[in-house]
Amino acid sequence: METTLVQNLPEVTAAGVIIKAIIILAVIAAIAGFGTYIERKILAFMQRRYGPLHVGPFGLLQLAADGIKLFTKEDIVPQNANALIFKVAPSITAATAFIALSAVPVFPDFTIPEWVPLLGGVFVPAIAADLNIGILFVLGMMAAGLYGPLLAGMAQANKWGIIGAARTAIQFLSYEVVTGLSILAPIMLVGSLSFVDFNNAQAGGISHWLIWQQPVAFVLFLIAGFAETNRTPFDLLEHEAEVVSGYATEYSGMRWGMFFIGEYANMITVSIIAAVVFLGGYSEVGIGWLTIILKVGFFFFLMLWVRASWPHIRPDQLMWLCWKVLMPIAVINVVITGIVMMV
């Protein structure tokens, strides 16, 4: 296996990892906020509207206005709710979303210049925790993130919340098997669970991307990823037209905002996984950081595009789709991949 990465990277220190974690928290949280602006703009354009327009240039400061609103809203814990679980649930969603990002290559590595006091010369890695089971860890963390909606829906003593929680369980039971099985075939091809190995395996240019060898797995993973992030064809948990706001019905202010940040961080995570596993990641020499941003941006745009285009499906249809259609296809894909590898 050819590798283009420089092998003699500096040693990763605790300070570097902490700096990386702070960078991820700050930048991704900001991007998640920016994502709401992008989403509103793109959806508006696709419906021939303008979107946010008047607060700041091109409506950019709408973000600040929304932030002020979220932070200053009254934090209500409803009567009869289980207060402890009600308060903890949003942080589960937000925390697991960011924990998942710790094992994902987010930004290129760099070394802090020597003239910076205290931190000079510290090497900041591309991945905060370069686990050799990175993909398993990320998928597991994102799956654990669904405890947020589940507990929130059940703790708030609201019938719409209960329905949202039940739908969370249905969704969780449906897509998780497809996520694992669809990404199993690329894992077999690469022979590793580390994102860095995936990146290096596709280093030979566009023709080496795994999407050409595993198009079925790519489509399956995208479908499962949409379900994992509660995006529109599968946004059963909080579909406004049916269950008011589902698991988030009783939430207001920053607690609701944490659900939101978690959802957008998950969108970014799924986009990064899809880009690294199937579309060659950041392997292009020199402009890798730019291409990974373009790839992630494409997947993010795809999610908004799909939201503007497609209606969403019923919970039973999701279960039917995942268990009766996608799972057999994924299994067949894995078997065929295995046979091809053996022959």
Partner 1 sequence: MSLEQFKNRNVGTQNYKMLDLGQSPTEGMDKFYQVAKRTFKGELFVGLWITMREMVNALFKDNMHTVKYPFEKMPISPRYRAIHDMLRLLESGHYRCIGCGLCEKICISNCITMDTRYDENQRKEVSEYTINFGRCIFCGYCAEVCPELAIVHGTRYETASEQRASFSLFEDMLTPIDKLNLQQEYDGFGAVSPNADENIKKTPLAY
For the chain, state the CA radius of gyration.
Answer: 21
Least spacing, CB of residue 325 vs partner 1, in Å: 7
- Is residue 45 close enough to count as binding partner 1 by CB under 8 A? yes
Distance CA 328, CA 172 (A): 18
Least spacing, CB of residue 21 vs partner 1, in Å: 37
Distance CA 276, CA 260 (A): 24
Least spacing, CB of residue 308 vs partner 1, in Å: 5
Closest by CA to 202, choosing from 291, 123, 335, is: 291
DSSP H helices in 119-158? 134-144, 147-155
Q: For CA atoms 191, 299, 174, 337, give the dihedral sign.
A: negative
* Binding span for partner 1 by CB under 8 A among 40-48, 141-149, 234-242, 250-258: 40-48
Least spacing, CB of residue 310 vs partner 1, in Å: 6
Q: Which of 27, 293, 325, 332 binds partner 1 (CB under 8 A)?
A: 325
- Is residue 110 close enough to count as binding partner 1 by CB under 8 A? no
Task: Using alpha carbons, list the distances in angstroms from residue 250 to 80, 81, 128, 152, 155.
Answer: 12, 10, 35, 9, 10
Distance CA 20, CA 125 (A): 7
Is-contact 267 101, C-beta < 8 A?
no
Strands (E), 105-253: 110-111, 123-124
- With CB under 8 A, what is the number of residues at the site for partner 1? 14
Q: Which of 133, 310, 332, 335 binds partner 1 (CB under 8 A)?
A: 310
Cβ-based nearer residue to partner 1, 150 or 330? 330
Least spacing, CB of residue 288 vs partner 1, in Å: 28
Distance CA 87, CA 115 (A): 44
Per-residue binding string, partner 1, 67-86, x by CB under 8 A, is --------------------
Least spacing, CB of residue 220 vs partner 1, in Å: 13
Strand partners, 111: 123
Least spacing, CB of residue 305 vs partner 1, in Å: 6
* Binding span for partner 1 by CB under 8 A among 5-13, 119-127, 239-247, 300-308: 300-308
Cβ-based nearer residue to partner 1, 153 or 225? 225
- Is residue 305 close enough to count as binding partner 1 by CB under 8 A? yes
Q: For CA atoms 126, 26, 139, 239, give the dihedral sign.
A: negative
Q: Which of 34, 50, 110, 212 binds partner 1 (CB under 8 A)?
A: 50
Is-contact 211 218, C-beta < 8 A?
yes
Cβ-based nearer residue to partner 1, 45 or 71? 45
- Is residue 298 close enough to count as binding partner 1 by CB under 8 A? no
Strand partners, 110: 124
Buried b (16+ CB within 10 A) or exposed e, 38-50: bbbbbebeeeeee
Q: Which of 26, 53, 84, 340 binds partner 1 (CB under 8 A)?
A: 53
* Binding span for partner 1 by CB under 8 A among 3-11, 44-52, 176-184, 192-200: 44-52
Cβ-based nearer residue to partner 1, 158 or 232? 232
Cβ-based nearer residue to partner 1, 201 or 220? 220
- Is residue 332 close enough to count as binding partner 1 by CB under 8 A? no
How are the residues of the chain apportioned to helix, strand and coil, as percentages rounded to the nearest 5? 70, 0, 30
- Is residue 49 close enough to count as binding partner 1 by CB under 8 A? yes
Work out the angle between the directed axes of helices 14-46 and 288-309 (0-180°, nearest 10): 40
Cβ-based nearer residue to partner 1, 47 or 72? 47
Q: Under the rule (CB under 8 A), what is the footprint of partner 1?
A: 42, 45-50, 53, 305-306, 308-310, 325
